[in-house]
Amino acid sequence: MSLGVRLEALSAGYGSAAPVLELTDLEFPPGSFTALLGPSGCGKSTVLGLVAGFVRPTAGRVTAGSEPVRGPGPERGVVFQHYALFPWRTARGNVEFALKRLGLPRAERRRRALAALAEVGLAEGAQKYPAQLSGGMQQRVALARALAAEPEVLLMDEPFGALDALTRTRMQSLLRELWQRRGTTVLFVTHDIDEALALAGRVIVLGGSPGRVLADHAVPAGPPDPDLRALIARHLGSE
């Protein structure tokens, strides 16, 4: 299952400070995988916060499906760069704890947690504590925690930024496989052009202050397109 997401005539800021984001209309169709690309401070994470319901817009509105976003909800899962795992809980315990808000019986929470950990290739690590897991394994737990709630939209804020290059590549492959299997709508924040092109079917480039859309590109199937990469780099002024 998946939901489409719309941002309509949107702007956002924090308190009395200047706006950090000024967007017109953006639409993310159900089942799409979109990368939000841009330098630090351009509003990428603010877009995710708006869709997640952590940030309220100062103008415009956000909808998931046909419903306006007024706060966090289980149909929208979030994976952050920092794993935010409880060190005193096992991998399974961390995933189960996140399911408590759904009011599920204990047996169902355990079933979902074990299924999600197996789906991310961590079935054998279910009883291990975060300190016993590598960075990549901890991020798999964080991903399983989001997937266990069976979200229709998955919001990912630079989730692989702290991983080494090899682990990052493996996690990218895992994410692509999960997306193809589940068909979840994915919004993926990154500042890495190659990561955006490797993962997404669409790349939206943000920039400026306040942040705004600089470019919106469909990513063709197949090997990365060097011409598209060069074009995006020019948008970012980092060629």
* Co-location of 105 and 128 in the same domain: yes
> What does each C-alpha distance from 70 to 173, 179, 192 come to in angstroms?
33, 26, 30
**CATH number, residue 38:** 3.40.50.300
Q: 3 and 31 in contact (C-beta within 8 Å)?
A: no
- Whether residue 178 contacts residue 147, with contact meaning beta carbons closer than 8 Å, is answered with yes
Domain count, the chain: 2
Buried b (16+ CB within 10 A) or exposed e, 148-184: bbbbbbbbbbbbbeebeeebbebbbebbeebbeebeb
My answer on whether 124 and 214 are in the same domain is no
Query: What pLDDT is stored for residue 239 in this prediction?
Result: 40
How do residues 23-63 score in pLDDT, each as one tens digit? 668 999 999 999 999 888 788 888 999 999 998 888 889 99
Mean pLDDT of the chain: 90
Share of the chain above pLDDT 90, in %: 63
Same domain? For 160 and 218 the reply is: yes
Range of the domain at 231: 1-75+154-180+187-239
pLDDT at 16: 60
Q: Tell whether 158 and 69 lie within a shared domain.
A: yes
Is the domain of 6 the same as that of 46?
A: yes
Residues in the chain: 239
Tokens of 47: 């877009």
Full-model pTM: 0.91
Residues 78, 159 contacting (CB under 8 angstroms): no
> How confident is the model at residue 111, as a pLDDT?
96
53 and 119 belong to one structural domain: no
Token reading at 93? 């315990």
- Do 159 and 235 sit in the same domain of this protein? yes
